[in-house]
Structure 1
Amino acid sequence: MRRSTVYLLLIGLIFALPFVPALIASFGGVWRFPTIIPDGINLRAWESVFSPSARTLSATFLSLWIAFCVTIINLMVGIPAAYALTRKKLRFQSVIEAVLLAPIFVPALAAVMGIHLTFLRLGLTETVLGVILVHLAPSMPYVIRAAMISFQTMNEEAEDAAKMLGATKSQRFYHVILPHLIPGLTAGIILSMLISLSQYSVTLLIGAGQVITLPILFVPFLNGGDPAIGAAYTLVFSAVALALVLLLDGGLRSYYASRKGGLS
């Protein structure tokens, strides 16, 4: 067996180990130290998670839809902002950059508490739109930062050469800038989606219990409601997040494979 294969197996094992206790706990029963497996194993938790009244599937689709909308807005705002911060000479540029990236260091709940009253006046509480807007605060800085790094590492001579050859702004962006941005943006997209998917406090505050996402469903069980159901929900959430990452990774690989095939 090759060394690289051994390393991959070890990494996979390390990644999987934290989920083993959750998997065991999800099959219910009383689990006290030093017993290895719970007493009275059953499927009660999984039946509860996937029962029609649990709304797990609808919460999953809503969580993904919110994360998708949040990421699209982040890209629409983040790419121009990163371009301006890296290519333009702006007044108070350091201050602007600090303000845009501040949510990385400031807890999202602290920022949301300040805009909750405004959302109440605008009628955005208890709505999906309000939750989408509030998820922008903790997720957008990562997209901006990823785009900034991509712009900073890009050779501007290629863009200048395309301009001299008569390429329009849209052509330069699509054929020269975008291919260089995609790897960095993919990292930003993954972070944006995962951060949006995992938001509980801000979703509960703005959604007021009317916008039901996956964290709204499973966090109360983890906080003492029912550990077995909480463990099952944890595995469902982890599976959704892992599938999302693998899908984006596969999309990135397919994109570069298509470009390589087109160039050959």
Structure 2
Amino acid sequence: MRSLVIDIGNTGSKYGVFENEILLTNGSFGNKGSIPQELLDQEFEHAIVASVAGKAHFLQAKLSVSGQFLELSAQTALPVSNLYKSPETLGADRKAGAVGAHYFFPGRNCLVIDAGTCITYDFLDSQGQYHGGGISPGLQMKYKALHNFTGRLPLVQQIDQNFSLIGQTTQESIISGVLAGTVAEVNGIIQNYSENASDLVVIVCGGDAAFFESNLKGRIFVIPELILIGLQRILAYNV
């Protein structure tokens, strides 16, 4: 079964082409309807679209899908139990991350950290029950907030693996404040979850995953395609 999964985020979209459970190829494109020609030239048996940026019906008319075209929603059946109190507000990417974690680490307590536009924290217990988590600003969002809500602070966008803790210029101080502060935040949250869930598996994905891989304490698993794989598992569960 050749299937297509698309994850439409706040600032861009990612896609993956699967043959059964095997990820054959993946890539990205903008959110302006510019679907890669590679996808337009293929025929798919089934497809799933997850969007945090609004409806994605325009994709269905452009793609060749012979079977089910599934748009992930609060009503979509999941291979995990969803205990979130407001499931209609739960981001599609957060659901997919939890399902992906369950696929890779069944029977384990999992904390998924998706480091993108926002940093999301999602907890799935060893019984396959998704509980929820947290949402905080991502690195670039913090940089933009410092620039937009002050009169003189410059816009900084650097994400340095080996940043200086003590900034000796305003730009260095912003970098230190954002990067060191966020690393401390993430380490602290991991510690809090570890104290409440034994044998915790920490999984990091998202555009800034490489930065956290180098700077977080303890053992973590970086799985860049976690969301795509989670979406493929949801699609397989529904066809």
TM over 0.5: no
Q: Higher RCO, 1 or 2 (CA under 8 Å, sep at least 6)?
A: 1
Rg larger in structure: 1
More strand by share: 2
TM-score (norm 2): 0.30
More helix by share: 1
TM-score (norm 1): 0.28
